[in-house]
Amino acid sequence: MRKCRFIFSTTSIIMISFLSAILIGSLLLVLPISVKNGVSVSYVDALFTATTATCVTGLVTVPTVATWSVFGQIVILFLIQLGGLGVVTVMSWLMLLMHKKFRIRDHQLLQDAFNLNTLSGLRKFVKKVIVGTLIIEGLGALLYMPVFIPDFGIKGIWISVFNSVSAFCNAGIDIIALDSLCSYATNPLINFVTCALIVLGGLGYVVWWDVLRVLKEFKTQKLNCFKHLTLHSKIALVATAALIFGGAAFVFAFEYNNPLTLAKYSLFDKIQISFFQSVTTRTAGFATLPQENLTNATSIVCILLMFIGGSPVGTAGGVKTVTAVVLFTTAFATIQNKEEPTIFNRTLSKQAIRKSIAVVCASFSIAFISTVLLAAVTPASALDVAYEAFSATATVGLTRNLTAALTLAGKWILIVTMYLGRIGPITLLIAFSTKKQNYNLIQDPVEELSVG
């Protein structure tokens, strides 16, 4: 008798690896050693925490600083690092350390994990990602220490390391206080270091190496740096800058006279707090302003920023900046009756356009369904529920003080939402496909439609 063997696709393995990390993490967090003396945590809360850490989201049903012991915090930090880099990336790094040979299957896993278009140079890419990540997180921790060590003593070293990893991985989980970074809202060093870590993690590794390549060439050839960047890097950098400055301008304008947020601060502090809010909204999740005190206008802008998120091949979530730019460029090209959408004198590929449409539609569907389901089981305003659902989908971690008050059903809804938001809509759509579709030479007839 012939045996039937089910072969998992690479994307299925990525899904299973994240799920396995979450389940193992939840089992570790539910242990008595993981919680502080006198504190008890249900398995659902442990599972929620493992999910939010592995999916680098930041929404928490129990306060991190008051609930988890040092062991529990170590587990959470490991899950954040694992989720930020990706389970497949970490496993590949361990294979490199043990001098294991990479099979074609391993290269395909890495290609799908990083959403890259080529299989060449992936081993070198993994090494650079790991080393670059550890260097930036280490520098971030060192820069935090002049503030946290005087405030917390020797414990400030651990807080600095935890915060640096969490910020770079865009997780937004901290062990500082119940109100996140609100007590450091006017501290320029904390604002600068946290924003820098968030942006570097959110820009994506591909942009890092491309910028470094151009800077090296600039030293010898004195060329135009921006002109010689790849199209991907140009879009990621310009879109990131536009969203940060644009978001900060909206926050500054809408919150300027809000007595619950910016009204009491000086002009300089208003500016730095506005920039921090704009940066953290794009999937980081740290807060220097109570989100429930924001005006409705600011909250709606933040929902849009959360949905777009960071850039591809990085630690951030959302549909990604490049995806949004491709979609908007295509829409404007259609409005202008252009045959092909172009940006920076380059024509966008049809594959990029199709993928962008699929990602946005899938992400919006997850966020919309999550919003509806959450509204059905949660006695809260529509804005608070939408803010929570989009924050979970885009793995942001900001909340209008709703997460801690979630019902059991609400917790399960967000657990699933965070998981789907992290592994990516495209990964979900093709997860169980074991082979490429064969297209027939004979195609179905085309018929025109009335659109709009």
Per-residue pLDDT tens digits for 346-386: 999 888 898 889 889 999 999 999 999 999 999 999 999 99
Question: What is the chain's alpha carbon radius of gyration, rounded to the nearest angstrom?
Answer: 22
Give the relative orientation of helices 382-393 and 350-377 as an angle to the nearest 10 degrees.
Answer: 140
Q: How far apart are CA 303 and CA 273, in angstroms?
A: 18
Identify any residues that bridge with 35 across adjacent strands, giving them in sequence order. Answer: 68
Residue 297 has pLDDT above 90, yes or no: yes
Position with higher pLDDT, 105 vs 204: 204
Please state, in angstroms and rounded to a whole number, the distance separating the CA atoms of residues 377 and 371.
10
The pLDDT tens digits for 381-411 are: 999 999 999 999 999 999 999 999 999 999 9
Which residues are 342's β-sheet partners? 347
Residues 316/202, Cβ–Cβ less than 8 Å: yes
Q: Of the candidates 223, 218, 280, which has an alpha carbon nearest to the alpha carbon of residue 248? A: 280
The pLDDT value recorded for residue 214 is: 86
Give the Cα separation of 324 and 306 in Å (integer). 12
| Total residues belonging to the chain | 452
pLDDT at 209: 85
CA 207, distance to chain mean position in Å, is 16
Q: Is 178 helix (H, G, I), strand (E, B) or coil?
A: coil
Span 18-38, pLDDT tens digits: 899 999 999 999 999 999 998
Do 355 and 374 touch, CB atoms closer than 8 A? no
For residue 433, what pLDDT is reported? 47
Highest mean pLDDT among 88-92, 102-106, 313-317, 328-332 belongs to: 328-332
Comparing 214 with 244, the larger pLDDT belongs to 244
Q: Residue 288: which pLDDT band, with cuts at 50, 70 and 90?
A: very high
Q: Write the pLDDT tens digit of every residue in 159-198.
A: 999 999 999 999 999 999 888 999 999 999 999 999 999 9
Q: Which of 291, 281, 286, 306 is nearest to 258 (CA)?
A: 291
- Which residues lie across from 68 on neighbouring strands? 35
Token pair for residue 13?
A: 């393995």
- The stretch 424-429 carries a mean pLDDT of 62
Please tell me the predicted confidence (pLDDT) of residue 189: 96
Residue type (1 letter), 46:
A
How far are the Cα atoms of 6, 12, 119, 171, 185 from residue 432, in angstroms, in the given order?
A: 10, 6, 21, 28, 45
DSSP string, 2-37: PPP-----HHHHHHHHHHHHHHHHHHHHTSGGGB-T
Confidence grade of residue 1 (pLDDT, cut at 50, 70, 90): very low
Q: What is the pLDDT of residue 434?
A: 45
Distance CA 147, CA 140 (A): 12
Share of the chain above pLDDT 70, in %: 83
Q: Is 93 helix (H, G, I), strand (E, B) or coil?
A: helix
pLDDT in the model for residue 223: 67
pLDDT tens digits for 57-80? Answer: 999 999 999 999 999 999 999 999
User: Cβ(179)–Cβ(287) under 8 Å?
Assistant: yes
What integer pLDDT is reported at residue 440 of this predicted model? 54
Say yes or no to pLDDT of 104 above 60. Answer: no
Specify which of 82-86, 133-137, 426-430 reaches the highest per-range mean pLDDT: 133-137
Better-scored residue on pLDDT, 322 or 218:
322
Amino acid at 451: V
Q: Detail the DSSP E strand segments found in 112-228.
A: none
Residue labelled with tokens 């074609």: 104
Model confidence at 115: pLDDT above 60: no
Q: What is the mean pLDDT of residues 206-234?
A: 81
- Mean pLDDT to the nearest integer, 281-292: 91
pLDDT of residue 188: 96
Distances (CA, A) of 2 to 5, 6, 63, 231, 434: 10, 13, 54, 50, 19
Which helix or strand (DSSP H or E) is residue 283 part of?
Answer: none
State the average pLDDT for the chain.
86
pLDDT of 3 strictly over 60: no
- 114 confidence band (pLDDT: 50, 70, 90): low
**Residue the block writes with tokens 């609400």:** 410
pLDDT band at 226 (very low <50, low <70, confident <90, very high): confident
Q: How far apart are CA 293 and CA 291, in angstroms?
A: 5
pLDDT-derived band of residue 425, with 50, 70 and 90 as boundaries?
A: low
Sign of CA pseudo-dihedral 41, 47, 50, 55: negative
- Tokens coding 210: 């491309």
Reported as a pLDDT band with limits 50, 70 and 90, residue 275 is very high
Give this prediction's pTM: 0.88
Would you state the pLDDT for residue 322? 92
The pair of three-digit structure tokens given for residue 98, joined into one six-digit string = 């043990």
When pLDDT is cut at 50, 70 and 90, the band that residue 110 belongs to is low
CB 372 within 8 Å of CB 382? no
